[in-house]
Amino acid sequence: MAIKQKQLLSEMPIAQTNIKPYWLPFSSNRKFKDNPRVIVSAEGCYYLDADGRKIFDGLSGLWCCAFGHNRPEIAEAVNRQLLELDYSPAFQFVHPLVIELANRIKDITPAGLDHVFFTTSGSESVETALKMARAYWHHKGKPEKTRLIGRVRGYHGANFGGISVGRIEPNRLPYGELITADHLPHNILPENAFSRGIPEHGIELADVLEELIDQHGASNIAAVVVEPFAGSGGVIVPPHGYLQQLRESCNKHDILLIFDEVISGFGRTGSTFGAEHFGVFPDIMCLAKTLTNGTIPMGAVVASAMIYEGFMDTDTPEHTVEFTHGYTYSGHPVACAAGLAAMDIFEQEKLTDRVHELAPYFEELIHGLRGTKHVTDIRNIGLAGAVQIEPVSNDLVRRPFDIGVACWEKGLYVRWAGDTLQIAPPYVCEKEQLDEAFNILSDCIGEVA
């Protein structure tokens, strides 16, 4: 085995000799470089690693390749587009595909979300939404409405606005002064442990919004930003009525509600968007990831007519810019081609229905891990789940890390982050593949010290 590994590594100059210059994002670089995990190709629900092993993709990449890997429809659309129009300036010009994709997104998102602003990632979508919210109030003659409210354990990307409204402490700690924000509590409560799907308890935690409004005054608050269910924070599903109550408080006090649907969008819950799943509709929605099935970086912010018209209804001359914001690669033609092909797959294969069908099976499997050593909580919604692992003394991360690496070695990729393991398989997977994935996961949790 040792010899085989040595031979294979010698065929992999990237991993063995040249890896040092590469600084991995959100990774333990020192430990990784001792024994790199190298993915060389993918197909359907599997990766192939540098040793030729097949590994089940238990997180759809990083929650983005939900329709399965290497879809030829997307590859062909991207290839065609690269030969037709590789780039065109996003500021003051359009190309046909960006118009088409804006319409597709308008049509697929809930009624009332009608105006699409493109970005190149979820982090940029969040920054865009936060700036849009503040600028909206500025245009409405209320420039003092700037405060932002997120949630504890919310994840809104890695940029400064996102880590300010998000609240995963290690993501904030080293970076000094952030943008002022308050945070509503999360609802991981002892009485919610091992809830199947939407938990029962914690609706009263939505009252904290009213307390914050009392404290700061609605006239100083721009927006509340939440994930319909928290993904990275460990699949935290809000209780019945929670999002509804946030919506009602926002309406009452004239505060915007932003849903960050970077993970919950495009079917993950078993509804097309988290907004529909919970029956609560935001003023602004952030999208990314599965918008292109993870193939080409792209995000989008979808705003209501009220927001858009707030910008357009101005006394400034028509040739002036209404929203002084945008990115070099906003609405990139190649990303649009990928997005359109991905939307075709999503709709033609009725993948939301597929998630809805698989979700009860997934729920049985993940809750089947209850009682396994070290498992302190299991949470799930649609095809998303998290298994919370008891820390080793003060080290939250060590056990999930060891379990995740053991799974990888046995042919399953799951993500470990903080004290949880996260599972979000491609929508196109089969029940037998899920059986196998959960057998591996169960063995690896059971065997960890």
Angle, in degrees to the nearest 10, between helices 207-216 and 242-253: 30
Angle, in degrees to the nearest 10, between helices 122-139 and 305-312: 60
> Applying CB under 6 A, which of residues 56, 63, 308, 327 lies at the interface with ligand PXG?
63
Collapsed DSSP state (helix, strand, coil) of residue 437:
helix
Binding partner at 328 among ligand PXG, ligand PLP, none, C-beta below 5 to 8 Å by kind: ligand PLP
Minimum CB distance to ligand PXG, residue 223 (Å): 15
Q: Closest residue to ligand PLP, Cβ-based?
A: 328
> Applying CB under 6 A, which of residues 47, 155, 346, 413 lies at the interface with ligand PXG?
155
Minimum CB distance to ligand PXG, residue 125 (Å): 7
CA dist 301 and 208 (Å) reads 27
Binding partner at 28 among ligand PXG, ligand PLP, none, C-beta below 5 to 8 Å by kind: none
Q: Considering the complex, state which of residue 146 and residue 159 has its C-beta at the smaller distance from ligand PLP.
A: 159
In DSSP terms, which residues pair with 49 in a beta bridge?
A: 39
Q: Phi and psi of 420, rounded to 5°?
A: -125, 160
Give the residue from 49, 19, 47 showing the smallest Cα distance to 34.
19
Binding partner at 327 among ligand PXG, ligand PLP, none, C-beta below 5 to 8 Å by kind: ligand PLP
Query: Binding marks (x or -) toward ligand PLP, 310..349, rule CB under 6 A?
Result: -----------------xxx--------------------
CA dist 168 and 183 (Å) reads 11
Minimum CB distance to ligand PXG, residue 273 (Å): 13
Q: Does 126 bind ligand PXG (CB under 6 A)?
A: yes
Q: Does 263 bind ligand PXG (CB under 6 A)?
A: yes
Minimum CB distance to ligand PLP, residue 103 (Å): 24
Dihedral sign (CA 240, 242, 243, 248): positive
Give the residue from 80, 110, 114, 112 showing the smallest Cα distance to 96.
80
For the chain, give the number of residues.
449
Q: Classify strands 113-119 and 299-304 as parallel, antiparallel or unpaired.
A: antiparallel
> Applying CB under 6 A, which of residues 58, 68, 157, 339 lies at the interface with ligand PXG?
157
Minimum CB distance to ligand PLP, residue 165 (Å): 20
Q: CB–CB of 262/36 below 8 Å? A: no
CA dist 21 and 153 (Å) reads 32
- Element (DSSP H or E) covering residue 39: strand 39-43
> Applying CB under 6 A, which of residues 77, 288, 351, 384 lies at the interface with ligand PXG?
288
CA dist 219 and 253 (Å) reads 8
Minimum CB distance to ligand PLP, residue 43 (Å): 31
Binding partner at 123 among ligand PXG, ligand PLP, none, C-beta below 5 to 8 Å by kind: ligand PXG
Q: Name the site residues for ligand PLP (rule: CB under 6 A).
A: 327-329
Q: Name the site residues for ligand PXG (rule: CB under 6 A).
A: 62-63, 121-123, 126, 155-157, 227, 231-232, 260, 262-263, 288, 415, 417, 422
